[in-house]
Amino acid sequence: MRNILTNNLKCKIILFILIFFPGKIYTQFRWTTITYQGNIKRIIYQDDYLWGVTTGGLFRIDLINNIIEKYTNIDGLSSINCRTGILDENGNLWVGMSDGTINVYNKNKDRWKIINIEPGKLTINDMQFYKNRLYIASEIGISEYLTGKNEIRSTFRNLGEFEINTEVNTIFLYKDTLWAGTNKGIAFTDINSPNLQDPQYWKNFTDKDGLPDLNINNFEVYNSRLYCATNIDIISFDGKSWKREWVRYGKYTFLTVKNEKLFACGEKGVFKKEKGKGWIKTGNKIKNATSIEIDRYGNFWASTSGNGLYILDNNTFKKFDINSPGGKTFAGMIQDIDGILWFVSGGYENQGIYSLDGNIWKNYTIDDGLTSSSFFSVAVDKSNRKWFGTPGNGAMILENNNKLSISKIDTTEGLLAGSDTPTFVIVGDIKVDSYGNIWLINNFANNGKPLVVVTPDFKFYYFSINDGLSSNELNKIEFDLNENVWIGTAKNGIDILNYNTTIKDKSDDVWSHISTADGLNSNRIRALKVDNTGIMWIGTGEGINYWYNGKVYTQYGALDNYINCIEVDPVNNKWFGTNTGVSILSPDNFSWTYFTKENSFLIDNQILSILALNNGNVYIGTGNGLSILETPFKNPEKDFNKLVIYPNPFIISEGKNRLVVEGLPLHTKIKIFTTSGILIRELNEENQGIIGTQAYWDGKDNKGVYASSGIYLIAAFFKNGKGKVSKLAVIKR
């Protein structure tokens, strides 16, 4: 037997180039999609590959070379919410999606094809092949798809006595009989009937016919008996009457025959039945099993809904790491001192926290010692400790020095206060200032002190309404360039604290307040972020404001007025996360760019968090996965010492190639001269020849004509004239 447990799997990350950017062609932007693939609907074994059909796309394990490949929207899928899968006679994988399409993987061409059944209108629940036809179970009945003609021949909406458009959960073909499982019982028919759109050709089984449960989730035939997975148990039919199998009470969703044994999967785990014997449990308990497969090496695999993939070892199910984050929600994120990224799943998602070290994901839950399953926020202090805010369990501190060390801060020793329920300690936003002080929100604190400061020597200080806060319900914390503390409230606008660098001494504190009376669009503050020039950007549920030179202004132009988050990248672009995508305001505070699911590879339009790193990578957290965008918005250089020009020689081939000048300081201009000193092209931020810290030349002169072959001079310089000149060879083809 091949022992898969001892092999380390490598995750293959595939990057595709974005070619559409509103109003521009930016081939330098690259997207990566990361999804949660622990909610597995089905696993399918094929020729030493194990496919996983998940609500976060597909994974495929190469059992020979020990490589995991992921397939998402970037790799050709119409969406990521896969519902069911089946192999055709040629070994091609057909995947039914929640968006009303079927995605077909051609294994010979390594390519995806999209078949539109009812795009955007239906969820495809199940599929079965019969000769040159594919039968599709959906929310409105059963559709018959002709594979040779690539068309829907008909849809059967009247399944006997059931009302029209009854949803079909599962279908099954056995000896020319088509079985349909619904939540109202069973419909069945002779597949060769002259008109399956006519309800008279269908028959039904309901509770009137002795059906023990009406909720039918899957079918299988074993030992000449029809078995059904239902919401209460496995039931079976001998051709005359129905009976309950009494496997174990609970919902079952999958049945299959392997090695002359019948297997059932459900919320209580995996069970098997042999001829002439009763049902016995396979392996230890795993929750919500959804399917099983046995590969040619004898390895027994089991998928689950929400708990990932397992492999059976000595009758014990062991978790098989598919290198996926622990949840689909990315409500907050930060990078620690070691470069590891930390993500929180949100206040009530119960998915714990996840970290990304290079390409490796690690997931942490209560089973690993966490004090909570849900987290609002994450921050990193000067000692590289990770601080997390929870909706009821106070604050949690995680140290990861060789081994995981977890500590909790709550009402113990009076460090934090409970809410209306004394033991229910709510910690919202957490931020660390430049002095290393940890500022956290202790919301609805019953001691009246919702703003808490923890100094680097672990001393606690508190601020209350009596000190100058306007509310006991706070949302966000931010620091301006003068280290004033900005506190966004839920109903009262913004409180600003100038504590004159003396946290212990409140006598010199100066408080000020901003509200709708001062020009805010709303007093409910959802996001705060200071930009590189000192402007404070304010996100509300009714649009964007900014504070500059003592006044509040309104910024128009975002996709949506409901602002979830704000980030500022190294070159001072402002990124606003909304429920309809990402809006990016350029450093000139005038030009806008937008990313949505519709115009890019963004995984979801509900943007919950954004993190821009100095290397130009922007992490966009959504309610349905993580999008990573590789941009030229890197931390700018102070001089031209790291200037790189490529390719050199530059081959001009009718717009197929572009010259890149990398490592630019901000506010640089590029001029391209012939060796005789004739200026042929200027690149700058205004004409979009320079984006962030990179310049791009398409090989054309100022008149739009491609430059001739020869040697050219590339001059990069500041406004004061200082700069650097490099030679470039151009070859025109």
| Alpha helices in 269-411, H assignment, sequence order | none
Residue 469 falls within a domain, yes or no? no
pLDDT of residue 428 exceeding 70: yes
Residue 348 falls within a domain, yes or no? yes
Per the structure, the count of domains in the chain is: 2
> If phi over 0 gives left and psi between -120 and 50 gives alpha, with beta otherwise, what is residue 532?
alpha
Cβ atoms within 10 Å, residue 458: 9
Nearest CA to 664 among 701, 686, 689, 630? 689
Residue 431 falls within a domain, yes or no? yes
The pLDDT, as a whole number, for residue 689 is 86
Nearest CA to 238 among 249, 222, 254? 222
Residue 655 falls within a domain, yes or no? yes
Overall average pLDDT of the 424-434 stretch? 97
Question: Which domain CATH number covers 341?
Answer: 2.130.10.10
Q: How confident is the model at residue 38 (pLDDT cuts 50, 70, 90)?
A: very high
pLDDT of residue 7 exceeding 80: no
The pLDDT, as a whole number, for residue 720 is 67
The pLDDT, as a whole number, for residue 653 is 81
The pLDDT, as a whole number, for residue 431 is 98
Residue 434 falls within a domain, yes or no? yes
Q: Please, what is the average pLDDT of the chain? A: 92
pLDDT digits (tens, 9 = 90+) for 475-492: 999 999 999 999 999 999
DSSP letter at 551 equals E
pLDDT digits (tens, 9 = 90+) for 411-421: 999 999 999 99
Where among 429, 464, 499 does a domain terminate? 464
How far apart CA 250 and CA 23 sit, in angstroms, is 55
Cβ atoms within 10 Å, residue 446: 17
Residue 377 falls within a domain, yes or no? yes
DSSP letter at 73 equals G
The pLDDT, as a whole number, for residue 655 is 64
Question: Which domain CATH number covers 669?
Answer: 2.60.40.10
pLDDT digits (tens, 9 = 90+) for 322-339: 999 999 999 999 999 999
Nearest CA to 275 among 291, 288, 259, 290? 259
| Ramachandran angles phi, psi of 75, nearest 5° | -95, 10
Overall average pLDDT of the 559-586 stretch? 96
Cα distances from 119 to residues 58, 96, 505, 520, in angstroms, run 19, 11, 63, 42
Overall average pLDDT of the 342-364 stretch? 91
- Spell 329-338 as b/e; 16+ CB within 10 A means b: bbbbbbbbee
- Spell 236-260 as b/e; 16+ CB within 10 A means b: bbeeeebeebebbeebbbbbbeeee
How far apart CA 54 and CA 35 sit, in angstroms, is 10
pLDDT digits (tens, 9 = 90+) for 688-732: 888 888 888 999 998 999 999 999 999 998 866 778 888 999 988
Which residues on adjacent β-strands are paired with residue 353? 344, 364
The pLDDT, as a whole number, for residue 26 is 46
Where among 430, 464, 498 does a domain terminate? 464
The pLDDT, as a whole number, for residue 24 is 42
Q: What is the pTM of this model?
A: 0.89
The pLDDT, as a whole number, for residue 16 is 31
| Ramachandran angles phi, psi of 554, nearest 5° | -105, 135
Residue 526 falls within a domain, yes or no? no
The domain of 360 spans 325-442+450-464
Block residue for tokens 């106070």: 394
Residue 436 falls within a domain, yes or no? yes
How far apart CA 215 and CA 209 sit, in angstroms, is 14
The pLDDT, as a whole number, for residue 724 is 87
Q: How many helices (H) and strands (E) does the chain have?
A: 0, 68
Structure tokens at 180: 């349909």
Q: How confident is the model at residue 289 (pLDDT cuts 50, 70, 90)?
A: very high
pLDDT digits (tens, 9 = 90+) for 57-112: 999 999 999 899 999 999 999 999 999 999 999 999 999 999 999 999 998 888 99
Q: How confident is the model at residue 687 (pLDDT cuts 50, 70, 90)?
A: confident
Structure tokens at 424: 């229910």
The three-state secondary structure class of 140 is coil
How far apart CA 551 and CA 519 sit, in angstroms, is 8
